[in-house]
Amino acid sequence: MVRGVLNCLPANHVRLLFAAMETSSVLSDDEYDIISEPGRRLSLDSSCDYGFDHFELREPPPSADAQDRFESTRWSANEVQQYIQKSLAPGLSLTETRNRKIRIYVDGPFDDFDVGAALKLRQAKMAFPSVHLIVGVFSDETLQQNDYMSTRPGVERAEIMRHCRWVDEVIKDAPWELTCRFLKDRAIDFVALDEGTSVDPSCHKARVRAYDELQKHGKVIKTRRTVGLVSQLPRLLIPSPSPSQRATPTLTFSRSLPNPTAESD
């Protein structure tokens, strides 16, 4: 029977099994789970594997400076959920979502991924007791078609999002305008939007109209913007020098060069 089990395991898992047996004659429950179920995702809090009521997100604590500067770093999961509750459709409460994982979607170019974007994703991830957070990244072609100049290629922008601690899934070629059909095909429960997105001049009008339509169907939850970012402060404009002010490169010599045609004394 043991031989049959070993034959079913990949070679690297068999080596892991024998390595563990060399260090200890008895495997702990966790070690057995890793070997027997290599595809299983273990969490730091084992209660996450069996139910969502005690789901707890783990993150390094923010620095004192960050907490002083960005209020959104201080919000706990409960505080985020209490705020999200206000944007839910009438008759829907957080209690009704405790027994399943909620799929939330956030889209954008993510060309300039800053603290504000990261803290928005944090709120989206904490919006319900258990969340599968999907991030849609616009492709280079989509941005070009909508007159958006990107400084990073799509593969880099998607890879940046893949390494964000809050993100569970990345869609590389996200649609510019969201529809209820897209949400249904992806089994998405809600789209997370920052407050004020509908009046934000930097947000394309076609995207705003699509968001407004989703909101009519109760598919939008609101996150709070992070204020105090450097990108939100007015930038000092330094005028470019005029042509007459630009330095012109010149060749200088410390002494005069000898004349090769001159006759030597």
Nearest residue to 178 (alpha-carbon basis) of 88, 106, 85, 84 = 106
The ranges of the chain with pLDDT < 50 are 2, 23-55, 233-241, 245-256, 264-265
Radius of gyration of the chain (CA): 28
In CATH, the architecture of 64-231 is 3-Layer(aba) Sandwich (3.40)
**For residues 72 and 227, what is the distance between their CA atoms, to the nearest angstrom?**
9
Q: Which amino acid, one-letter code, is at 225?
A: R
Q: Kindly give, in sequence order, each residue whose CB lies less than 8 Å from that of residue 70, ignoring residues fewer than 6 positions away.
A: 62, 115, 119, 226, 227, 228
User: For position 99, what pLDDT does the model report?
Assistant: 77
140 with 214: CB under 8 angstroms? no
**For residues 20 and 89, what is the distance between their CA atoms, to the nearest angstrom?**
52
Please state the domain extents for the chain.
2-42, 64-231
User: For position 105, what pLDDT does the model report?
Assistant: 97
Of the chain, the end-to-end C-alpha distance in Å amounts to 107
Average pLDDT in the chain? 74
Q: Kindly give, in sequence order, each residue whose CB lies less than 8 Å from that of residue 215, ignoring residues fewer than 6 positions away.
A: none
**For residues 224 and 218, what is the distance between their CA atoms, to the nearest angstrom?**
18
User: For position 148, what pLDDT does the model report?
Assistant: 87
**For residues 110 and 137, what is the distance between their CA atoms, to the nearest angstrom?**
7
**For residues 232 and 250, what is the distance between their CA atoms, to the nearest angstrom?**
42
User: For position 183, what pLDDT does the model report?
Assistant: 96
Residue-wise pLDDT for 25-44, tens only, equals 444 444 433 333 344 343 33
**For residues 34 and 27, what is the distance between their CA atoms, to the nearest angstrom?**
11
Q: What is the DSSP string of 193-229?
A: EETTGGG-TTS-HHHHHHHHHHHHTT-EEEEPPPP--
Stated as kind and residue range, the H or E segment containing 115 is helix 115-125
